[in-house]
């Protein structure tokens, strides 16, 4: 995740936990908190491996962190997504497309968030009071190769791993 003192990091963790639990899953390690940069992603990946955490997926607080995690795990000999799937947040075109493999990411629909915020500001300037409450913009998962199921022999390995969990 990002910095421990930032609300965005806590919200992402909370929603991630809820979605995992709704699907019968849980985190295998406590969230690692640090800066929103690629170097922290590299450090977090090394820490997971050093601590001998057995994981098959990493959910990162943003795409920059995910890129650092991905490159480090690959450098340590792990296959993405064969050994570990990686997901980021923000769906930042430059990051998700430049990463190899291309990065699965949660699209927070930031242009729509900006449009709604700008409209609320215009309404306030023009004397129209805002509606009470919070406006929610629904996010979406954009699946790419960093979470794709492998093909051929690797698919059989994944099938056996999943069967062993049941």
Q: What is the pLDDT of residues 90-126, one digit of tens each?
A: 998 888 998 899 999 999 999 999 999 999 999 999 9
Distance CA 81, CA 70 (A): 9
Q: Sign of dihedral through CA atoms 9, 11, 17, 19?
A: negative
Q: What does pTM read for this prediction?
A: 0.79
pLDDT surpasses 90 at 51: no
Give 160's pLDDT tier (boundaries 50, 70, 90).
low
- The reported pLDDT for the residue numbered 65 is 94
Average pLDDT over residues 51-76: 92
- What is residue 145's DSSP assignment? G
* 156-162: long-range contacts, CB 8 A cutoff, minimum separation 24: 157/82, 158/82, 161/56
DSSP three-state, residue 135: coil
pLDDT surpasses 90 at 154: no
């Amino acid at each position: 995740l990002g910095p421990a003192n930032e609300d965005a990091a806590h919200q992402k963790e909370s929603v991630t936990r809820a979605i995992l639990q709704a699907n019968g899953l849980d985190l295998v390690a406590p969230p690692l908190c640090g800066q929103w940069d690629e170097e922290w992603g590299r450090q977090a990946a090394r820490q997971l491996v050093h601590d001998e955490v057995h994981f098959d997926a990493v959910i990162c607080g943003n795409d920059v962190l995910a890129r650092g995690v991905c490159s480090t795990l690959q450098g340590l000999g792990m296959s993405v997504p064969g050994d570990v799937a990686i997901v980021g947040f923000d769906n930042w075109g430059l990051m998700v497309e430049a990463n190899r493999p291309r990065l699965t990411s949660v699209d927070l629909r930031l242009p729509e968030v900006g449009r709604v915020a700008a409209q609320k500001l215009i309404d306030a300037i023009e004397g129209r009071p805002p509606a009470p409450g919070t406006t929610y913009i629904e996010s979406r998962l954009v699946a790419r190769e960093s979470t794709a199921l492998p093909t051929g022999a690797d698919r059989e390995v994944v099938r056996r791993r999943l069967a062993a969990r049941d």
